[in-house]
Amino acid sequence: MGNAEHPEEQEGPVTSDQLRLIGTPFRRVDGRAKVTGQTRFADDLSFPRMVHMKLVRSTVPHAKIVGIDTKKASEIRGVVGFLTGESMPDPFGILPVSQDEHALCIDKVRFVGDPVLAVAALTEDQAHEAALAVEVEYEPLETIATIEEAISTPEPRIHDYGDEGNLHKKLSMEFGDVDEGFDEADQIFEDILYFEGNTHLPLEQHATVALTEETDRVTVYSSTQTPHYLHRSLAKVLGLPAARIRVIACPNGGAFGGKSDPFNHEICAAKMALTLGRPVKICLTREEVFYCHRGRHPVLMKIRTGVKKDGTLTAQHLQTALDGGAYGSYGVASTYYTGALQTVTYELPKYRFESIRAFTNKPPCGPKRGHGTPQPRFAFEVHLDKIAHELAIDPAQLRLQQLVAADSVTSNWLKVGSMGLGQCIEAVVAGSGWNQRHGKLPEGRGLGLACGSYLSGAGLPIYWNHMPQSGVQLQLDRSGGVALFCGETEIGQGSDSVIAAITAEILGIDLHDIRLCVADTDLTPVDLGSYSSRVTLMAGNAAIQAAERARTLVARGAAEKLDVPARELVFAEGRVFHGENPDHGMTFQEAVVEAESRFGTLGTTGSYTPPRSPGRYRGAGVGPSPAYSYSAAVVEAEVDPATGIYRIEHVWMAHDVGKCINPALVMGQIEGSVYMGLGEAMMEEQVFRRLPKKRSGALVHKHPSMLEYKSPTFADMPPVTSYIIEDPDPNGPFGAKEVGQGPLLPMMPAVANAIFDAVGVRVDQVPIAPHMIRQAIEARERGKPGRFGPKSFPEIEFGVPLRVPTPAEGGDGKATNVDDAGVRAGTGTMTERKDAVKGEN
Amino acid sequence: MSEERTTRAFQVNGEDHHVSFSVHHSLLEVLREELGLTGTKHGCELGECGTCTVLIDGKPILSCLELAAECEGRQIETVEGMMQGNELHPLQDCFADLGAAQCGYCTPGILLAAQALLAENPSPTRDQIVSALSGNLCRCTGYHKILEAIEWAAARMRGDEKYRPPESAIYGDPVEVEKASDG
Ligand code: FES
Ligand code: FES
């Protein structure tokens, strides 16, 4: 691409294999700010004349709003304004296909906690008092509490859209001839399992501060993982051009998926600021954070697998039923995710997947770490453990003998690149002494093994477009400093450090000579957000492109002065020098001066768009990723058969991260995932109960407080032995894949499998409480199966599946029965299906 | 809700303050809203998470449960007071180096609880650290990096400059080779 007008596109130096920074445990760039209290979270901001806002939330689960009376509230001292739903009639929602939320409810409320009104006052106390004084009159509607009730109660509908009645989504797809696959099996195994819902519980309560600079310009600081999507929702609901709205995502105090929807309080704060002309702040209470939710969907699963005598899987039929709560959120994508990644670990030649997502009158579910995949992964890995036991095959061996091959395409058309699961299994098997100990420990002690895989970023954006999914812009000047602009959001995972380190590595400069400006929709190039473990791979690749272009510019400036071809220059240790004669060179700063003198003001950009995925059927949009991470775990449990009380004694976790950008940060993600997975396996649950009739009969959150929502403490955390496996993926920056979510996946099934090894009973649901183990033991003592778990899966008419021949069957990635398939199998992640199809041709 | 205000004198990070605030406000609110010391965080404001921990007269307390009006004459330490000049306190240094602060939201409270522990017991065992911190939740780290950072800082504060956290805490454990099929 020799183009004199684009010197950054010309031939420049190449990145050496000898990395100086990448792969080392450098201190994260925000490390000092985080330990000194200098990091500014959203609630730490305040501005002159700032007022405080509170939301009045529904106290009933499903009702028409008959009237709102603010008379008493408006008499409270300090109250400056109210907002109701009428002032923001346009609906919003994270997915284009489920724009089903309003900033404030207009006609009806759908769960206890649904916001009805916003009030602002001079102090937080006054706003709180005013919110309590607002009177809302409701006309109750029938409450739908469970998946079963949603199926059996099509009317009244919680929403007036969706596939039928109170089923938001219903889908059915078949990859290959599954009946033929079952015919080839020697035995068919079937299990029904349940994964209870749970929530993210970030320590930081969501907060937003909005302020106006002009009558039609508003700035919104927020604890959000997805400033770009919030930006779009604000533009839609406020009716302002996007260019007049600035969203700045503050560093998040933990998020885990819980801050990736645009939220009512964010839109209301912006609207209130535009109404009052003064800064508005809202910080949710912990109770409200439980109502915002968007956490793990409760999922009931039925899994049937055909298996040959030697353990080879011939076909699988998976059915999942998701309890979605009251709104769409990411739910359509979540529904697909409960099936999409079943194929990327072990060869699954034929696969049928059917699913429903129900609307219920509970806080909306959405994406939590692992988004939709931990539930079916739990089902699959427990199911495999049972298969191994039944066939007397070692569970590790059963998995190792049928790993998906690297560089292959799965039966549902996902392209797998590097695949280090075999190494992961071998590492935890060796480390835990699995071969000597599994099945051989004394009663009460057991080992369980399980695996998992996750995306390094979703292949498609949430709304269809042809633009990059991540962008980085660099600005260099004679100071020798480099300013890095990127829309990515730091949620604690270390993404700022990743993009800064990649840039520093390529330019051969000190990490501290890079200045970051991130997550600001006015100033930074778009990055879609910190979700689906996409930032290291996508923003990382964009940073590589921007930094390589900058290096080429600087090299071409230095080359002339040094009289060495630009491509022979090396950038390292803050210098630019001739690779063959390191003494012949200059400082990086001097080189920048040369380049700035020659080319004028220096700046480059880099973009990243994931490769096209081979799937061409409706629904193929969920599941593809540029690279898949892999993990394997062995868990050791000590169970008291007399009480069912159990402890996790040790965890061995191996994770294939492709390549470590920073091993200390990778370890932090592994240990954090182990921790969160243990919480889900052992105690965390977001559950509801009906109040007695005389107390309104409402369906309420059982424990919207941190004390009662149990999560592991320091004292609950077992020792963890972690293995970092590096099987570089050609699509990853320096080969890197994700680590933020993957290592959570094996934990829940590994715990269940360890309990089986310890006491010989199965608990086919999580979280696993001691009484469940006891009941399973008691059942066994009565001569019944030693099992605790769901007994049946509801009868659902899924209709004709979308039939997609597999690669092995000579398919082309398209469905063969688009017209007669009974499903509306759109992925729900694109605005314009027509546009999407056009894009594919 | 009462709008009555009161004025109290106390020391924060060694400096005298006379602060006027609503009589029912917690120390957490007064630190953050009246004194602008936003380094102290909150996760529940109900005494359930430990995030708001500060030291009063050297003892860790939950500032969300402490009435500021009752702090008259007491010495309060917050994360903003930990640095020594422009240098990080060893606890801060080790937390930053090990990645014991991920989102960093639990960090100020945990640093102060750890500082109080080390003041009392310069060589705590792992179990003693765990029990001193068992009221502080962290959702990001899985706790291990925090424990390792405290042990490292304790060693440095005892003058043991050679102590290093185990390599495995940073690089993971070395992978042994043994095939599952051998068993
Ligand atoms: S804020 Fe949670 S204990 Fe004080
Ligand atoms: S580092 Fe995020 S909560 Fe502890």
Q: Are residues A132 and A234 in the same domain?
A: yes
**Would A810 be classed as within a structural domain?**
no
Q: Domain B5-81 in CATH: superfamily? A: Beta-grasp domain (3.10.20.30)
pLDDT in tens, A382-401: 999 999 999 999 999 999 99
Please identify, among A752, A768, A788, the residue that sits at the C-terminal boundary of a domain.
A788
Please identify, among A772, A788, A804, the residue that sits at the C-terminal boundary of a domain.
A788
* Residue A709 exposed, middle or buried by CB count within 10 Å (0-12, 13-18, 19+): buried
Nearest chain A Cα distance for residue B9, angstroms: 23
Would the CB atoms of A254 and B79 count as touching at under 8 Å?
Answer: no
Domain residue ranges in chain B = 5-81, 90-171
**CATH class, range B90-171:** mainly alpha
Which tokens hold the place of A803?
């039939």
Q: Are residues A378 and A344 in the same domain?
A: yes
Which pLDDT score is estimated for A16?
80
Please identify, among A551, A576, A608, the residue that sits at the C-terminal boundary of a domain.
A608
HEC string of A393-405? CCHHHHHHCCECC
Cβ–Cβ under 8 Å, residues A41 and A677? no
**Would A814 be classed as within a structural domain?**
no
pLDDT at B47 over 90: yes
CA of A208 to the centre of ligand 1 (A): 20
Nearest chain A Cα distance for residue B57, angstroms: 20
Number of domains within chain A:
3
Q: Are residues A172 and A124 in the same domain?
A: no
pLDDT in tens, A455-477: 999 999 999 999 999 999 999 99
**Would A18 be classed as within a structural domain?**
no
Which pLDDT score is estimated for B3?
81
The domain that holds A70 is classified in CATH as 3.90.1170.50
Q: Are residues A194 and A215 in the same domain?
A: no
Closest to A321 measured CA to CA, from A722, A669, A796: A796
Give me chain A's average pLDDT, please: 95
* Residue A199 exposed, middle or buried by CB count within 10 Å (0-12, 13-18, 19+): buried
Between β-strands A313-323 and A351-358, what pairing exists: parallel, antiparallel or unpaired? parallel
Which tokens hold the place of A340?
């999409």
A722 in contact with chain B, both atoms CB, cutoff 8 A: yes
Q: Which are the contacts of A642, defined by CB distance < 8 A and separation ≥ 6?
A: none
Q: Are residues A309 and A420 in the same domain?
A: yes
Nearest-10 crossing angle of helices A663-682, A747-759: 60
The domain that holds A592 is classified in CATH as 3.30.365.10
Chain A with chain B: Cβ pairs closer than 8 A:
235
Domain that holds residue A189: 168-199+295-459+623-788
Would the CB atoms of B92 and A35 count as touching at under 8 Å?
Answer: yes
Q: Are residues A408 and A546 in the same domain?
A: no
Q: Are residues A701 and A578 in the same domain?
A: no
Residue keyed to tokens 């068919």: A188
Q: Are residues A584 and A483 in the same domain?
A: yes
Which pLDDT score is estimated for A11?
84
Q: Tell me which residues of chain B, numbers 122 to 181, contact chain A at a CB-CB cutoff of 8 Å.
A: 129-131, 133-147, 168-173, 175-181
Would the CB atoms of A671 and B102 count as touching at under 8 Å?
Answer: no
Pocket test for ligand 1, best of B49, B54, B138, B139 (most atoms within 8 A of CB): B49
For A369, the closest chain B residue by CA position comes to B140
Which pLDDT score is estimated for A825?
44
Which pLDDT score is estimated for A15?
84
**Would A570 be classed as within a structural domain?**
yes
| 3-state SS class at A547 | helix
State mean pLDDT over B27-47.
98
Q: Are residues A518 and A455 in the same domain?
A: no
Nearest chain A Cα distance for residue B104, angstroms: 5
Which pLDDT score is estimated for A705?
96
Q: Are residues A86 and A125 in the same domain?
A: yes
Please report the ipTM that was assigned to this predicted complex.
0.96
pLDDT in tens, B122-176: 999 999 999 999 999 999 999 999 999 999 999 999 999 999 999 999 999 999 8
Q: Which residues of B touch A717 (CB under 8 A)?
A: 142-144
Pocket lining for ligand 2, CB < 6 angstroms: A 203, 254, 492; B 101-107, 138-141
Distance CA B16, CA A830 (A): 59
**Would A34 be classed as within a structural domain?**
no
| 3-state SS class at B56 | strand
Cβ–Cβ under 8 Å, residues A56 and A120? no
B82 in contact with chain A, both atoms CB, cutoff 8 A: yes
Q: Are residues A422 and A467 in the same domain?
A: no
Q: Which residues of B touch A286 (CB under 8 A)?
A: 43-46, 48
Which pLDDT score is estimated for A826?
45
Give the residues of chain A that fall short of pLDDT 70: 1-4, 821-841
Distances in Å between the Cα of A87 and the Cα atoms of A74, A106, A350, A685 are 18, 9, 52, 36
Q: Are residues A627 and A688 in the same domain?
A: yes
* Residue A293 exposed, middle or buried by CB count within 10 Å (0-12, 13-18, 19+): buried
B119 in contact with chain A, both atoms CB, cutoff 8 A: no
**Would A747 be classed as within a structural domain?**
yes
**Would A647 be classed as within a structural domain?**
yes
Distance CA A766, CA A554 (A): 56
Torsion angle in degrees (nearest 10) through CA of B114, B115, B117, B118: 110
Tell which of B25, B103, B152 to mutate to test the A interface (max A CBs under 10 Å): B103
Ligand index nearest the alpha carbon of residue B49? 1
**Would A23 be classed as within a structural domain?**
no
Cβ–Cβ under 8 Å, residues A168 and A104? no
pTM metric for this prediction: 0.96
pLDDT at B183 over 80: no
Q: Which residues of B touch A494 (CB under 8 A)?
A: 99, 102
Give me chain B's average pLDDT, please: 95
For A76, the closest chain B residue by CA position comes to B1
The minimal CB distance from B144 to the residues A435, A717, A725 is found for A717
Between vectors from CA A509 to CA A498 and to CA A568, what angle results, nearest 5°? 110
For B49, the closest chain A residue by CA position comes to A706
